[in-house]
């Protein structure tokens, strides 16, 4: 799982964690879910997890409108780190 996280494969890491007993993943499963949801730009889901955990102060941008732009830029950066090219990402504009 560590290798998947280091490669920014949050979906893969979450799948592995969800296949493990919950008592082994209890301390970090929400962090993996949040990483996956951020990668999918599901900010509502991220906010729900952070609100539930009482750690909503961890988002670097609080303003909802600015947060969308920040998270979009962060997602683009993660895709660059993964080595994804413009053609392989759904964030690529069609024009």
Whole-prediction pTM value?
Answer: 0.78
Q: What is the pLDDT of residue 90?
A: 56
Q: Which two tokens stand for residue 50?
A: 């952070």
**What is the distance between the alpha carbons of residues 93 and 60, in angstroms, rounded to a whole number?**
26
User: Model confidence over 19-71: pLDDT tens digits?
Assistant: 999 999 999 999 999 999 999 999 899 989 988 888 777 778 888 889 899 99
Q: What is the pLDDT of residue 60?
A: 81
**What is the distance between the alpha carbons of residues 74 and 77, in angstroms, rounded to a whole number?**
5
Query: Greater confidence, 34 or 92?
Result: 34
């Amino acid at each position: 799982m560590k290798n998947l996280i280091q490669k920014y494969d949050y979906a893969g890491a979450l799948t592995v964690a969800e296949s493990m007993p919950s008592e082994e993943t209890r301390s970090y499963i929400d962090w993996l879910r949040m990483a996956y949801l951020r990668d999918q730009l599901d900010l509502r889901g991220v906010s729900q997890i952070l609100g539930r955990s009482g750690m909503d102060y961890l988002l670097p941008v609080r303003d909802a409108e600015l947060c969308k732009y920040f998270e979009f830029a962060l997602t683009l950066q993660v895709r660059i780190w993964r080595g994804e090219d413009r053609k392989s990402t759904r964030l690529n504009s069609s024009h």
